[in-house]
Structure 1
Amino acid sequence: MKVTGIYVYPVKALRGIALPTAELGAQGIRYDRRFMILTTKRSKSGQLQKMQLSSFPECALFSQEMTTDEKGAGASVIVHYHPPEKKHDGIPVDRAGAEKNRIIMSPVQHPPLQIPLDPSIRSLKKLDVDLHGSHAKGYRMGDKYDAWFSACFGFDVVLVYIGDGQRKVLGETLKTGVTVRSKKAKATKSAKTAKGKSVPSVTDKFWPLAVLELLAALWLELIYALGIRKKPPPEKDEPWLTFSDCAPFLVTAESSLRNVRARMSEGVDVPMYKFRPNIVVDGDGEEEWAEDYWGELTVRPNGVSASASDVPSLVDSRASSPGSEIDGALTPKSGTATPVKLLLTSNCARCTSLNVDYKTGTRAAGELGELLGRLAKDRRVDPGTKYSPVFGRYAFLDQRGSDGEDEEEEEDIVRIAVGDEVTVTRRNAERTVWDWPDL
């Protein structure tokens, strides 16, 4: 198999950006889901709630592209608004007399909005964010950004940055087999190395302190051995998320997409971007829906060998049309020869976002507006989410090297590219069962 598509979504719920190559870390593709838009519109409690395509299909009217300045710094995402000319039922757009919960988007074009991808959080106000029951501390980007989105939507919208916030992975199945480099190991490495030079430890500088630390450790071990005090469990680092739904990556297969397309009449195409994947593989040599049982994928660069001095630079890449599937990308020029392992831990249950028309921001007319229902006829295969059809698998980056040992790289960054070879290196005997609470 091969990688045939890579997508990133800097602002959650908006159109994705197709990349030829990408940097991957423990929290997903670089810059993925760093931002999210929220509103009180339709909120029964009056509290800010997330905006996603399932409840706000109008989000599909926004495309994104990433760029840098001429010096290769100051990475930004540029958001474009594409006003609908008509609603899907043929009624011209008219902002007058809108119902309380009805959304009538701005009929006029707005200048693109540029959002820094690495904003300083020092001057930003904190905001509690709840995404699928997993809470985090986010940061409001400010009036300039809120006003732009609000003008397009026609109601108050807030743009939030994840910053240093971390969301818990609530499903135990999702975390099965996922290892995280311990904070202790990282701290030890940081203490040993600074800019490539050896740094003397505290004990090297002052030997009496080392003796005291040793005696204290021996005393604690004696207390634990005598049962006077219960030994605390070892510190366990848990995987965490930014604003991605339930896992850092979503993997889909073109072989299964062909099955979906076969459910439609001739001439009705179902594009892959409808399923909002991060990584797409062709599924060559695999049966349709074989990915239901994939437990691990190994991605190997296709003829790419990069030296240690090959530091990737970022280039600006734009598509010919802002409304096209490929809206622009901030992409590294070179890859890496390191194999990348993805742990596929859970199914992706689908929602009404599949029925959205990306040109009108409403439910699609005809068969494309029935996509979810057609998929549900025989793809409700996960008893943990029995009313929703499954398409694709959630995945985590294996933070161990190809030989099974922990990598020593400080940032744990690896790279993949379209065309890379993909191998199924572990299969599950049975389908996994969804267990994220209340989702």
Structure 2
Amino acid sequence: MKVSQIYVYPIKSMRPTTLSSAKLTCDGLPYDRTFMLLKVKPDGQLQNMHIDKFPQLSLFLTDIEFPASADHTNGGKANGNAKDAKGWITVTYKNSSSPHPESGVGNALRIPLKPETSNLKRFEVMMHRSLTTAYDMGVEYNSWFSAWLGFKVVFAYIGEHRRLALGNFASPGMNGGWMSTISSMIPVPIPGLAGPKDASKVLTFADMAPYLVVSQTSVDDVSFRLPPGEPMDVTKFRPNIVLAGASTAFEEDYWAELIIGESVTVQLRNNCVRCVSVNVDFDTGAPHKGEAGTVLKKLMKDRRVDMGAKYSPVFGRYGFLHREAEGGEAVIRVGDAVKVSKINAERTTLEWPGMTN
């Protein structure tokens, strides 16, 4: 197999930036899901905005302009301005090429990749029962998104804060410490684990894990369930890493560990269970009205294979960086060879408080 696509989602639930290569870290690809919108409800409470509840978020396109000093290559743009080493995200509202008719704000917004936070208000964000602190980016950004969405929002930046992975996502020793796996094919040396002292506190605004890996063979299986000429858009599955060349669809259900390139090792700890986000029409920002709006239902027929979430279909595997490559680097590139180094004897069972049966 090989890496066929790499995606980073700088703003949760919006469209991704495509990369040609990326440096992996213990808490995800750099800049992945470090921003998120929250809706301000009538009572002043904040609601996390995820694409299953707010499909219109798919109308916002993102493009990353990496800092000139960045040592990771990319598929976005390198910032050639030596006086400006910040790096930027450009967000574009795709349904308009002109300013907002009422507020007058433009259809594009530039956001610093790493904002200065010393003067920003802090507030707590709870996502899937995992608490963190975030920064309110302020009126300039809140007003821009509010204008295009038609309701008041807060644009949040996670900064240096992280969320805890819960349930059996919480530590590298889950799944029985690999006692339930079949160690296969490839002898691998075992240096120390990569990661912070608290190896479970690694999540940005990603749902449950720093990485999501999917197989193109399985994406093709979904495409075969749709009318001719309507292939499934892989980005509806929100992957970070797409792998091409698997022999059969959904064999990844049993993958426990991958080696990408020479020595970048990713542990695949759990299945990703799916919701109505896979039915969203990216052209309209609403549930698709055709066959593509029934993808979740189609998957329900044969993909409810995780006993921890038996009413939800499975597509893809959640991953954690296990070990950095020699020299402390963990860089992957499109075209890198991928080997399955460990296989589970049985499918894993999802455990996350409030999210499972």
Bigger mean CA deviation after superposition, 287-296 or 255-264: 255-264
Displacement of 1:240 after TM fit? 2.0
Distance 1:237 1:21, change over 3 A: closer
Distance in 1 of aligned mates of 2:245 and 2:126: 35
More strand by share: 2
Please, what is the CA RMSD of the aligned residues? 2.3
Structure 2 matches for 1:273-352, cutoff 5 A?
A: 273-284=235-246, 286-300=247-261, 339-352=263-276
Distance in 1 of aligned mates of 2:338 and 2:194: 23
* Residue in 2 that maps onto 1:63: 61
Distance in 2 of aligned mates of 1:139 and 1:153: 20
Distance in 1 of aligned mates of 2:210 and 2:345: 24
* Residue in 2 that maps onto 1:397: 321
* Residue in 2 that maps onto 1:203: none
* Residue in 1 that maps onto 2:207: 245
1:254 paired with 2:216, answer yes
Distance in 2 of aligned mates of 1:353 and 1:170: 23
* Residue in 2 that maps onto 1:217: none
Instruction: Summarize deviations over 1:93-146 as a string: whole Å, max 9, x none.
Output: xx9xxxxxxxxx989983311110111211111010011111001111111000
More helix by share: 1
* Residue in 1 that maps onto 2:10: 10
Q: Secondary structure of 1:426's partner? A: strand
2:113 to 101, 111, 117: 117
Distance 1:79 1:21, change over 3 A: same
Structure 2 matches for 1:346-385, cutoff 5 A?
A: 346-385=270-309
* Residue in 1 that maps onto 2:234: 272
Structure 2 matches for 1:38-187, cutoff 5 A?
A: 38-41=38-41, 46-67=44-65, 68-71=79-82, 73-83=85-95, 110-173=106-169, 175-177=171-173, 179=193, 181=195, 183=197
Displacement of 1:181 after TM fit? 4.0
Displacement of 1:379 after TM fit? 0.2
Tell me the amino acid that sits aligned with residue 298 of structure 1. Answer: I
Displacement of 1:408 after TM fit? 6.8
Distance 1:416 1:180, change over 3 A: closer
1:417 paired with 2:318, answer no
Q: Whose relative contact order is higher, 1 or 2, with alpha carbons under 8 Å and at least 6 apart?
A: 1
Tell me if structure 2 keeps the 8 A contact 1:294–1:428: yes
* Residue-pair matches, total: 321
Displacement of 1:152 after TM fit? 0.4
For structure 2, the residue ranges without an aligned partner over 5 or more in a row are 66-78, 175-192
Tell me the amino acid that sits aligned with residue 244 of structure 2. Answer: D
For structure 1, the residue ranges without an aligned partner over 5 or more in a row are 86-94, 96-104, 184-235, 301-337, 402-406
Q: Which is higher, the Rg of structure 1 or of structure 2?
A: 1
